[in-house]
Amino acid sequence: MTVDLSSLNDLQQRAVKSTDGPVLILAGAGSGKTRVLTYKAAYLISNGVSPEGILCLTFTNKAANEMKTRILNLINQQPATYNPLPTMGTFHSVCAKILRQDGHLIGLPPSFTIYDENDSIDAVKQAMAALDISTQKNSPFAIRQTISGAKNEMIGSLEYPRFARGFYQEQVAKIYLEYQKILEKNKAVDFDDLLLLVVKIFQNYPATLASYQIRFHYILVDEYQDTNPVQYLLTKMLASRYRNICVVGDASQSIYMFRGADFRNIVNFKNDYPQAKVFNLEQNYRSTQNILDAAYSVISKNTTHPILKLWTDNPRGEKINVTEAKNEEEEAEFVVQKVTELGLPLSHFAVLYRTNAQSRILEEIFLKHHLPYILIGGIRFYERKEIKDILAYLRLILNPADTVSKSRIEKIGKTRAAHFWEIVSEIGTSPSDYSTLELLDKVVEKTNYLEYIDDGTELGKARVENVKEIRSVAEQTPQLAQFLENVALVESEYSSDEKLKKSTKDAVTLTTLHQAKGLEWPVVFIVGMEEGLFPHSRCLLDPAQMEEERRLCYVGLTRAKNLLFLTRTRQRLYFGTRSNNLISRFLIDIPEDLIESNSQIAGPPGEQFLDNISISADEDDWLDA
């Protein structure tokens, strides 16, 4: 049995044929990294390596299943007739199998239960109840995230108190200990334990580790830039006998620092294995050269990780369209206009943005034009819990007899409900004496609602931004009754839009840049290219986070295959405040000869943009601005 490698380019073939010893494949966006990893597994099998001796680690079950199907195709076998296959799965699924077999060494029975995120949060709540710690003042979700972060750094419940600093972490230390007791009593593990307990077994039982080292002669790891410290250590331990480890990744696409991913693992790989063979897969099969050059101009400013200079045999393609609009509404209208003009199937288009809150105006304009859309990894703006909470408060101000809204605010908390009714008494029968924005701000302040939803996690921060974004709608509609009526109309359009989507089965994708990773579209719009929005304001003073923002921009740019549109506004109503934002530094990084500028504003096309683009500024200048 042989595997035909003729469809691979020369460098890909060399990477596939380098089977023995450590191999690092730095694979740029659209360079066929998964293809290379799949061919490598099939090539090993075709050269006599037992499939049982190969371990393939991925980050999603979907990726593992795709790899399995591709390998079977390459070796010309059907699932029913070919057995065994390499061990393929996510880090968590592989570790779960190890624990089923060897968990007894640390007192874990084979019948243990795996708690998902909701189960884990329920266990945190039980721990807090046992310790008489309020779940109203301390978010169980945030505490669960903090415990997860500790486990990813391999800090157990007994060690955590030594690292705890400040009241919050001291509270977490107590809860962490109680939480682990509950898991042990229930013979359960959470997702983080799946990894951490396997490391514990390997560290305490060398013979068990040796059995897996002997079993897995070859270890292949996908998306290595997304590994956290536990995953990094696991692969290192498993590979330490034969050192036949091949990892594929691209530090420039590492965008999950907030989840514990550490792009430095790629740099550490070369330190751990100085003799490693390194292959830079720089030929891109997805995008035009103009798009690749624009992406490189942004990512090349990063200095802490390897940067690949991508090239392609594809045409140079159209220039990057950079459009300046008057405001966010005109920006969204421009997107709809271009989608309509180009006349391609709607599924060929994606609109990417930095924050979930930005979807609000896009959704409203798409609904206005009856243009079907889907949200990836998100919930429609007016269906998000925090927005529905705020709307319930405001509906009760206008109509205190609304029992549905009353029931909702009571679930938020009786104390907050009491503070809210104080507002209603203060306003009396004349809510029309106050603007919608004044009423909204009163509610948020009096009920401490932002404190309620801001648990310190990324999700909590996104919820806060959504509440601030509803201020933008309130600012535009001063009369509360009209505001609520307009919201109701948008909500009603959601249902008709669902019917439209079902009838057409074709829709534009709206999603955040984070959710876009791993996907591609012929035409991509990235909206909101302004300082403070993208890059995000939280990252402006942190060099490490700014590099992550650059990587995020790089990921967004390289999602486009044929056409790329970047938009910004002169003024933006954001969080209820209209502001004039500076042009994003990422736009300034793109050379003028790659850009076709366009202005939606009356006057010479692109004049404002070209004035800005000619500014010579480095990042220090921006921080001083």
Question: Tell me, what amino acid is at 110?
Answer: P
d(CA 290, CA 296): 10
Preceding omega of 605 cis (within 30 degrees of 0) = no
- Mind telling me the catalytic residues? 33-34, 222-223, 253, 559
Burial class (CB in 10 A: 0-12, 13-18, 19+), 404: exposed
Cα(115)–Cα(4) distance, integer angstroms: 43
How many whole angstroms separate alpha carbon 546 and alpha carbon 232?
Answer: 24
- Beta pairing partners, 596: 321
Considering only CA atoms, which of 272, 111, 108, 311 is closest in space to residue 204? 108
Contact 493, 367 (CB under 8 A): yes
Task: Report the length, in residues, of the chain.
Answer: 625
The full 3-state SS of 372-433, as one line of letters, equals: CEEECCCCCHHHCHHHHHHHHHHHHHHCCCCHHHHHHHHHHCHHHHHHHHHHHHHHCCCHHH
> Which residues lie across from 421 on neighbouring strands?
none
Query: Is-contact 515 378, C-beta < 8 A?
Result: yes
CA angle centred on 229, ends 226 and 233, rounded to 5°: 110
Q: Which helix (H) or strand (E) holds 23?
A: strand 23-27
How many Cβ atoms are within 10 Å of 80's Cβ, its own excluded?
6
